Structure 1
Amino acid sequence: MEVLNLIIERNIKEKGGFNYHWGCDGLKISHVCFADDLMLFSQADECSVRILKESLEDFSGVSGLIPNLNKSTIYFGNVNNHLQHLIKGLLPFKVGVLPVRYLGIPLLSKRLYSKDCSVLIDKVRKKLNDWKNKFLSFDGRLQLIRHFNLYDIWCPLSPLCSFITVRDIHRPGLTTRSTVNEIVVNGGWSWPVEWQNKFPSLFNLNVPSLVDGKRDVLMWKSREEKHMPFCTSEVYKDLCVHRQSVQWAKVMWFSQSIPRHAFILWLAYQVRLLTQDRLDRWEVRSDLLCPFCQLQMDSHYHLFFECDYPSEVWDCLKGLGMLNDAPPNRKGCVDFLAKQHMGRSFRSIIQRLVLAAMFYFIWQERNLRLFQDKYRTVEELCKVIEKL
């Protein structure tokens, strides 16, 4: 949705005549995105609605996404019929009635009270009461058990309720909560007699070794087919997709690293920062220029460290970070450190901390200039990094 944000912002700025909704004028809010939903706000005038419509059309042109008319609704507040007719001609959405609810909650400008959420609360209570009080058939009970019980896979046929019906379980006096211990007597099986012909495979199972007075222990079978006590960390390791480790990982991730610095360095190395050259692929703006040099669009290669401002930051701090021999470019400096011995030495830690800080604060300075019109000189930025 970042592209849509840029398109709406550009059209409002370039076309002029857009009037914000009275409740959104102070913060200049024209739209709100939440999950897969989009809400547009404006005053009820033809010019404002036309700008929103053209923004949606521009977005559809670059993304291929088109608003679903059957799921789109327009709401009017104190708007005369003639103006409503004109606006519906521009945006042929179905007309809704205020107040409107979203996800069961009324959209109000005032504080919400319990009575405002009563419909949602009633729905939740109704569902809970259904599960508690509704009389389920045997098949229904079995389905409920399958979804909400944790089974102990104690034999190859487990869980037994996958082929033994609830009726067959209850006939001999057992329940769905019966344990293996109840059907093992003097070291042998004590299955119900009527199950012998119906479920003969049960009588051929090996009798497990049970210890009186000792509780069951939850075990985990690892990828290497080893049984071990259940441990969250071991389960996580087994469930993770194992890939070959990369040399540059320790440049970013180490015990003394600053997480936000390391994260920006990782994004930059993976060419995943939202630089202007990536937005240009959508063809939403033609006036994108690097906030440092104003000569070309910024990119990962330009920001780290081809542009004059980042290059001066590099020259100022490479001595502090003992990076004099490192190539002054995004990938080269990381690969240079990756080939070094990265232990717990003071030199190794300082090198990685300074490098990540340079990437982080150059990206921060870029965003401050673009979005907040704030500027720091090279000397000021270097002093901020040196004080860390």
Structure 2
Amino acid sequence: MGAKKRPAPQKAAASQKVAAESEPSDVQEEEVMEIDPPARAANPMKSSLYFGGVSPQVKALILSVTGYTEGSFPVKYLGIPLFSSRLTQPMFAPLLEKIRQHVSHWATHLLSYAGKIQLINSVIFGLSIFWGSSVLLPIGIVKKINKLCKDFLWGISAGMYKMTFKRWDSFCLPRAEGGVDIKEVLSWNKTQMLSWIHKLVTHTDTIWAKWVEAYILKGRPAGSKARGTMQAHQFLLRPDFKKLFYDMIRPRGPSFLHHKTIWDSSCYPKHKITGMLAVQHRLPTIDNLCSRGVVLVNRCALCESSLESIPHLFFACPFSAVVWQTTALWFKALADVRLSHTLTWFRLHNRGHGLAKKQRRCALLCAIYLLWQERNKRIFNGAKSAPATLIRRIKLLVLLRTV
């Protein structure tokens, strides 16, 4: 029988060290478990309890059991102040102040009407709806928001009066009704409130829905005592219920027949706004200013011989007629100096999305914009350009946009 070899002392020590590292003792495991903090434990030093409609005895009992401190209203949650009382207009001062800060900052930049409308539709409307998704905004606050937006759009500063030729509520209409697709704040706020009822109908797993079901409805289905409950439930279960409800309650405007010509995607944004105002006779031409007593003498700045009006500027004026007729012939459009006939031709005979049709629509709006710009330069700067200069610019702008 052969004798078994004993492992060398160094090798035995090494093997014991590896075993000790790979298999920790129970004592070590218990120590690790003891020092590991519990998951999602609330920190009493950073937490507070807020009460509303609770008796002092119940409040003292809750505070003694939890060990938290009592907080005071108002308190901000996700940027929105929370109150335990009825909402009043002064409570929305942070919202108005934030909008004023944005408007004051933007006022220092040279922005077109199209750029201002984009900022209103994205930033200011986004702020209003962020607040309006939680509470119903008071009518007074909605009016102040609309006034801030209107003053910013028309460039009206504090203590300044400026005449406007298009009402703000007409801007808050779809393009097919003569607006620019700015959402109406009050109607959209009511639509956001409908989403809370949607949570009850669909039994959404939220604390608010569970509280209403337990303490308000007390186990009854939402709307069980209302007429047309089944139809309302079916409406709220539709994925587009917000869009449909907003369309039902929003303000209405007359149909705008030329919206497809004006709002073509191939046209420049600032040209679209000027074109819309021109078609609706809402530009501050001299005849509009004379009708309000601002200007007493009416004379066209382009031809210096006739009375200025929208039909005269586009395109009955001899200067405008040369520009538009040359441009229209180059793009194979109707070379009519009457704007109403030109728009009707575009609506009936230039429908579609072909390249040539897009170029004609872009050329029409470029001509309107550049002629209005030329008129303003002559009145305020005394600078004049020849018709050939404007024609070259129109052709260049159209080709850069569409090719």
Q: Which category of TM-score, normalised to the shorter sequence, fits these structures?
A: 0.3 to 0.5
User: Which is helix-richer, 1 or 2?
Assistant: 2
- TM-score where L is the length of structure 2: 0.43
Query: Which is greater in Rg?
Result: 2
- TM-score where L is the length of structure 1: 0.45
